[in-house]
Amino acid sequence: MSKEKPSLPKGTRDFSPEVVGKRHYIFDIIKKTFQKFGFQPLETPTMENLSVLTGKYGDEGDQLIFKVLNSGDYLAKTTPADYEQGSKHLLRKISEKALRYDLTVPFARFVVMNRNEITFPFKRYQIQPVWRADRPQRGRYREFYQCDADVVGTKSLLCEAEIVLMIDEVLTNLGIIDFTIKINNRKVLTGIAEAIGNKGRESEICVAVDKLDKIGRKEVLNELSAKGFEEDNLKSLDLILFDFETDKDLPNDLSLSSNLHSFSNHFSNSIDGLQGINELKEVITYIEKLNKSALSRLTFDPTLARGLSYYTGCIFEVKVNNVNMGSISGGGRYDNLTGMFGLPDVSGVGISFGVDRIYDVMEELNLFPESAQISTQVLIINFDASSEKHALPILQQLRNVNIATELYPDQVKLAKQMTYADQKKIPYVLLIGSEEIASGQLKLKNMRTGEQESLRLEDIMERLTR
Amino acid sequence: MSKEKPSLPKGTRDFSPEVVGKRHYIFDIIKKTFQKFGFQPLETPTMENLSVLTGKYGDEGDQLIFKVLNSGDYLAKTTPADYEQGSKHLLRKISEKALRYDLTVPFARFVVMNRNEITFPFKRYQIQPVWRADRPQRGRYREFYQCDADVVGTKSLLCEAEIVLMIDEVLTNLGIIDFTIKINNRKVLTGIAEAIGNKGRESEICVAVDKLDKIGRKEVLNELSAKGFEEDNLKSLDLILFDFETDKDLPNDLSLSSNLHSFSNHFSNSIDGLQGINELKEVITYIEKLNKSALSRLTFDPTLARGLSYYTGCIFEVKVNNVNMGSISGGGRYDNLTGMFGLPDVSGVGISFGVDRIYDVMEELNLFPESAQISTQVLIINFDASSEKHALPILQQLRNVNIATELYPDQVKLAKQMTYADQKKIPYVLLIGSEEIASGQLKLKNMRTGEQESLRLEDIMERLTR
């Protein structure tokens, strides 16, 4: 057995009890909202066949997939000839599986494999880790959780409206109140390409504009220029995208409609552009009838592009205001996700929450409630053999009424036992010494206030289950 | 993009919404029990450094570890010379990480890495998947969940008693009532080796006896004979282990003590053996004072060996009676688990639940309650534009009082919408046609009974939140 100092792989983390408690507090709120909107849980395996994952995330993504070696001594079965044919050939012989890179492609695979058993529209949520061999850096990990909800098998824009409402409910329930949900539509970007005289080149525009936050307006235009977009067209693009003034004097729901209305003026010659605007208007109409207040957090942002190539309709992104953090949620509509596995024409729309970023935001804003801590409620002090003997049935009775209770397992110094309660953030300590055994009145110490009271067990049980 | 028919890696599974609901029903009951006994959640990364995992599970285990290729084109960086040095050498150059094989070794690693921050005794539970490149077969998967609880940093036998109580509570709360918790102590096996004249050879006895269920009594003895155990000694072993008569006429708690008492007669010359028996007696004394009824499910089984080499004290195993299934839970005390990472003398004891087997048992015994199903409570039928418009605020009001509700997103035939409710097991359907819009009385259909009632929205809300 090796006795070297153990360590963690780069970009991975242990989650201590305190952190697990907080993370599951977030998961639970997300889950409850998804369920309230009719989404049901799905779980897919950690490993997928390489053929399922490869070619779905672009060349850059493919490089970041963690590949798993075939089991058994497959390397021994390779021949020098295999080796001479190069590493790609060799790789195919020794690795057929990989860790999932996101939850969307496994979801599409699941839908295609189970198309005959699934009732459409199929609303699923999925909360599982994914793995990417990215260079680890602050806030970017090689293993991280995604929380996705998707509905496939309907084109109804009610689904887009419900996604906005789910985002609004999740963040509000987490206590995050100052945030912006940006919305756009890929067809608006198609319309813009047409409007500036570059019909059909919206993907290139998307890829470049997606980098706006990172590289800035000027570099976006430079990148497009390098790709052969003409100066005049880029001037138009600059005007359309970046001189877009929101009507700040109007209440947000009116300004949203008025913004969309004025933006549609660019699309006198673009059917796609107009349709994009009309879809956005319909989404807003749904939201108005469901929960108008959510509109105050919604903004039309024509520079929202989202890099992923499979989006075809509305796209979303969420930022917390006044916090230095990238988007904490994003998603959109795709018309042909399952097409990659041979099942065309299944339109869907989905949203994904980034739990690591939400966690960091909540820490920064100090939003975790005490109840996010999973811990024991009462520690019974173990003074000596007689005290322990007396404590055992009390321990059992407290647990019988679902009070999480521990008896300190060893008869060690009181100070050590109190430190244990303190560090584990146990709110109550129960002391049963010879005096308490004689009187039947137990001493309950509130660890936060330091207050001590002598109480009968029944009263303690009543108080702690209230 | 590949358009071949997608498939799942061998030995892995998708969990559909129905199955996820049932699995989480099991997880939740296990979690609640662990928490009630003062255990806190820990999560460790999916990938561990190979140096952490290798050499911990025996040669056979090492073969079953799934290794992950280093990211980047590491194969391209290898040279023909690397290749000539053989596959083991090459493997070291291309793989440094692997998927965790169990939760125990990562736990030991966590304890050692965080020894200065942890408050001992440290009680943690961990519910995460593990991966083994075993040959897949019925009931054996390459990805499966373990649910472990361990306490390290105390030798108190109260912990062993609490493990028995946790097993008892988890299974009882799951509705599994007819089960047996087998208990033994490694020191009893040490004593037996001494008693038959093979002092110090208890590991070999453990390894052989561990196969009792699979190969039977005769083959166990044959295996030991092949290992050089003498005929006379094996005769003694046979008598001690297999002619052990339980006192069936006594109530179980008395028979337990009387069994232990009579078994101790073999150990007149073995201090270890006697200590094993005394530890078992002390565990039973604790249980008697905590929850005597659990003793009726507890049995002393001197043939219980458990293969893992790190156990040193009490060992446990749980079987469901009258169901054809291996053990659904097992564990034991280890005195030096963290020694493998250079931190000696941290005694601990743990238990692990096998969720896949528990799931199969519960399906066989039909024990899942309806509440294990995660689904929508009300589906609102979408007749036409006017009905949809009227439905939107109703949808919102139902959700506002936490009733999981969906409005069917498309205006399709009623039959199709009813099928959707039916297949998704939605218990109530709400019909809002022109008549209902006019009267304000909505039609609520109970999908199980087929009953229909006309009710005001307030009454529906009241009824469904009761």
What's the pLDDT at B248? 61
Instruction: Kindly state whether B109 is in contact with chain A, defined as any CB-CB distance less than 8 angstroms.
Output: yes
Residue B264 has pLDDT above 90, yes or no: yes
Instruction: State how far the alpha carbon of A403 is from the alpha carbons of A396, B28, B401, in Å.
Output: 10, 16, 28
Give A369's pLDDT tier (boundaries 50, 70, 90). Answer: very high
In the block, residue with structure tokens 């195993």:
B317
pLDDT in tens, A82-107: 777 777 777 778 899 999 999 999 99
Looking at residues A234-259, what average pLDDT do you find? 78
Q: What is the dihedral of CA A375, A378, A382, A385, to 10 degrees?
A: -120
Pairs across A and B, CB distance < 8 A: 277
Give the sign of the dihedral formed by CA A454, CA A459, CA A460, CA A463.
Answer: negative
Token pair of A317 as six digits: 């992104």
* Residues β-bridged to residue A354: A146
Closest CA to A307 of A207, A224, A200, A191: A207
| Eight-state DSSP code of residue B454 | E
Q: Would you give the DSSP letter of residue A250?
A: S
Which residues 443-462 of B are in CB contact (within 8 Å) with A?
none
Q: List the single best residue of A57, A59, A60, A75 to mutate versus B (max B Cβ within 10 A).
A: A75
Of the listed ranges A83-97, B28-42, B265-279, B332-346, the least confidently predicted one is A83-97
pLDDT score of A1 more than 50: no
Q: Is the pLDDT of residue B389 over 50?
A: yes
What pLDDT digit, counting tens, does each position of A275-310 carry?
999 999 999 999 999 999 999 999 999 999 887 778
In a mutational test of the A interface, the residue from B29, B406, B412 whose CB has the highest number of chain A CBs within 10 Å is B406
pLDDT at position B72 over 80: no
| A185 vs A278: CA distance, rounded Å | 10
* Residues B55, A1 contacting (CB under 8 angstroms): yes
Q: Which residues of B125-158 are buried (b: 16+ CB within 10 A; e: fewer)?
A: bbbbbbbbbeeeeeeebbbbbbbbbbbbbbebbb
Question: A112: which chain B residues are within 8 Å (Cβ-Cβ)?
Answer: 6
A5-9, A56-60, A215-219: least confidently modelled range: A56-60
Query: Which residues of chain A lie closer than 8 angstroms to B69, CB-CB?
Result: 66-69, 91, 95
More confident residue, B162 or B87: B162
Answer whether residue A207 shows pLDDT above 90: no
Residues in chain A within 8 Å Cβ distance of B404: 35-38
Give chain B positions within 8 Å (CB) of A375.
Answer: 40
Mutate one of B75, B117, B336 to test the A interface: name it (highest A CB count within 10 A).
B75
Answer yes or no: do B2 and A289 touch at CB < 8 A.
no
Phi-psi region of B450 (alpha: psi -120 to 50; beta: other; left: phi over 0): left
| Residue B1: pLDDT band with limits 50, 70, 90 | very low
Which residue among B12, B42, B87 sits closest to A20, beta carbon to beta carbon? B42
User: Sign of torsion, CA A306 A309 A310 A312?
Assistant: positive
Which of these, A347, A340, A460, lies nearest to A395 by C-alpha position?
A: A460
CA–CA separation, A69 and B175 (whole Å): 41
Residue type for position B308: L
Q: State residue B354's pLDDT score.
A: 94
Which residue carries 């101790």 as its tokens?
Answer: B264
What are the phi and psi torsion angles at A380 (to 5°)? -95, 130
| Chain B closest-CA separation from residue A217 CA (Å) | 32
d(CA A262, CA A266): 8
What confidence tier does A210 reach under pLDDT thresholds 50, 70, 90?
confident
Those residues whose C-beta lies under 8 Å from the C-beta of residue B305, and which sit 6 or more positions away, are B184, B189, B205, B206, B207, B209, B210, B212, B315
Q: State residue A2's pLDDT score.
A: 46
On the question of pLDDT at A80 being above 80, the answer is no
Question: Both tokens of residue B355?
Answer: 């969720």
β-sheet bridge partners, residue B125: B41, B149
A66: contact with B, CB 8 A cutoff: yes
Which among A69, A73, A403 is the nearest to B95, CB-wise? A69
Q: Considering only residues 210 to 269 of chain B, which have any Cβ-Cβ distance to chain A shorter than 8 Å?
A: none
- Quick: pLDDT tens for A348-368: 999 999 999 999 999 999 999
Cα(B186)–Cα(B309) distance, integer angstroms: 10
Whether the per-residue pLDDT at A251 is higher than 80: the answer is no
Which two three-digit tokens encode residue B334?
């280890």
The model's confidence at residue A196, banded by pLDDT at 50, 70 and 90, is: very high
Q: Per-residue pLDDT tens for B328-370? A: 999 999 998 899 899 999 999 999 999 999 999 999 999 999 9
**B407 and B426 Cβ atoms separated by less than 8 Å:** no
Which residues of chain B from 148 to 167 reach within 8 Å of chain A, CB to CB? 151, 154-156, 158-159
Question: Do residues A152 and A111 touch, judged by C-beta distance below 8 A?
Answer: yes
| Joined tokens for residue A151 | 């509905």
Find the mean pLDDT for residues A48-64: 91
Question: Which amino acid is present at A135?
Answer: R
Q: Bigger pLDDT: A71 or A76? A: A71
> Which of B43, B66, B112 minimises the CB distance to A6?
B112
| Contact across the interface for A9 and B340, Cβ inside 8 Å | no
Decide: B129 and B45 in contact? Cβ < 8 Å. no
When the pLDDT of each residue in chain B is averaged and rounded to a whole number, the result is 92
What number of CA atoms fall less than 13 Å from residue A389's CA on the CB side?
Answer: 7
Query: CA A266, A272, A275, A277 torsion: positive or negative?
Result: negative
Residue B386's H or E segment, with its range, is helix B385-400
B361/A15 Cα distance (integer angstroms): 32
The answer, yes or no, to whether residue A45 has pLDDT greater than 80, is: yes
Inter-chain touch B159–A409, beta carbons under 8 Å: yes
If one counts every other C-beta atom within 10 angstroms of the C-beta of residue B320, the result is 24
The pLDDT value recorded for residue A73 is 66
Q: What residues have CB less than 8 Å from A219, skipping those under 6 apart?
A: A211
Tell whether B3 lies on the interface with A, counting CB pairs under 8 A: yes
* Of the ranges A252-261, A378-387, B87-96, the best mean pLDDT one: A378-387
Mind listing the pLDDT tens digit for each residue in B82-101? 777 777 777 778 899 999 99
pLDDT of B149 above 70: yes
CB A287 within 8 A of CB A299: no
Q: What pLDDT, on a 0 to 100 scale, did the predictor assign at position B82?
A: 75
| DSSP output for B44-85 | --SEEEHHHHTTSSHHHHHHTPPEEEPSSSHHHH--HHHHHT
What value, to the nearest 5°, has the Cα angle with vertex A312 and ends A308 and A316? Answer: 65
For A113-159, how does the pLDDT look when each residue is reduced to its tens digit (9 = 90+)? 999 999 999 999 999 999 999 988 877 899 999 999 999 999 999 99
DSSP A448: T
- pLDDT grade for B246, boundaries at 50, 70 and 90: low
User: Is cis: bond before B121, omega within 30 of 0?
Assistant: yes
The encoded tokens of residue B416 equal 């199709």
> What is the DSSP secondary-structure string of B155-173?
--THHHHHHHHHHHHHHHH
